Amino acid sequence: MSRRQVFYDLLSELEQERRKDTDKLFDKLQENYGLRHQSYVNYSLAAGRQNALDLHHTFPEEFVKLYKEKDLHLTDPIAQSGLSGIKPVHWQKYRNEPSAKFLFSLASQFGITDRGLTIPLLCRGSQAAMYSINADVPQKDWFKYRTEYIGELQILATYLHSARQELAQEDETPELTARESEVLTWTAAGKSYWEISMILGISERTVRFFMTNTRNKMGVVTNSQAVAQGVWRGIIPL
């Protein structure tokens, strides 16, 4: 069966919502798209809480372990572009970037080449996700490969993402109380504890109390970090 035919079949299945089994879709992609490695990652929470991420990949375990240990997701320009941008990211664009130097050299030790592609995926509110592939093609065929496959890969990744989102339905967004989100919102607006206490007509100590609860619930350590999460999740109306 040709790859094009595989794509047609997969698409028909996905459109009819008959496929909820993301593992099989992953395998189909692996088999039919000349992939060396692929990964789907969904950061439910921002930096600092790695336990709440949905990661599915075929990269060498040892590599992923090192990647996590060294917090490379914070410096990796590919991950950054993938999580903040809209367009697909060509790994080679960052080949000579100083911030990616270590990453590429580490990757090559595990047989990962720079013929890779990272597709940002659509998330509502609380998350950021991306799908990456490392193709098993020589450099000379790389342009043709990605031009040929990128459309199909993006649409399939979209469906993969959608399915995993549906599966992981349980909402991890911590519920802030009315007061907590109120105080968080004023903090995002640049007010100090004292100012907020005046605005809300409560004591400064109480404002602190709410912010402490907010930080704890969000699993963050500073107010700035809480604000980042709050804006990201749409808790804070700007």
Binding site for its own copies (CB under 8 A): 7-8, 11-12, 14-15, 43, 46-48, 74, 79-81, 83-88, 90, 120-126, 128, 147, 150-152, 154-155, 158-159, 161-162, 165, 187-192, 220-225, 227-228, 230-232, 234, 236-238
83 near 121, Cβ under 8 Å?
A: no
| Distance separating alpha carbons of residues 237 and 235, to the nearest angstrom | 6
Choosing from 179, 199, 231, 232, the residue that interacts with DNA (CB under 7 A) is 179
Q: How far apart are CB 98 and DNA at their closest, in Å?
A: 12
The C-alpha angle 154, 158, 174, rounded to 5 degrees, equals 135
Residue 14: partners with Cβ closer than 8 Å, 6 or more residues away: 25, 156, 159
Say whether residue 192 binds DNA (CB under 7 A).
yes
Per 3-state DSSP, what percentage of the chain is helix, strand, and coil (rounded to 5)?
60, 15, 30
| Distance separating alpha carbons of residues 143 and 82, to the nearest angstrom | 20
Say whether residue 193 binds DNA (CB under 7 A).
yes
Residue listed under structure tokens 């100083």: 98
Q: Which does 175 bind (CB under 5 to 8 A by kind): its own copies, DNA, none?
A: DNA
163 near 20, Cβ under 8 Å?
A: yes
Residues forming beta bridges with residue 131, ordered by sequence position: 40, 119
The one-letter amino acid code at 24 reads K
Q: How far apart are CB 169 and DNA at their closest, in Å?
A: 17
Q: How far apart are CB 191 and its own copies at their closest, in Å?
A: 8
Choosing from 25, 89, 153, 211, the residue that interacts with DNA (CB under 7 A) is 211
Say whether residue 75 binds DNA (CB under 7 A).
no
Segment interacting with DNA (CB under 7 A) among 2-10, 71-79, 156-164, 177-185: 177-185
Residue listed under structure tokens 């950054």: 80
Q: Which does 177 bind (CB under 5 to 8 A by kind): its own copies, DNA, none?
A: DNA
Binding site for DNA (CB under 7 A): 175, 177-180, 187, 192-194, 197, 200, 202-206, 208-212, 215, 221-224
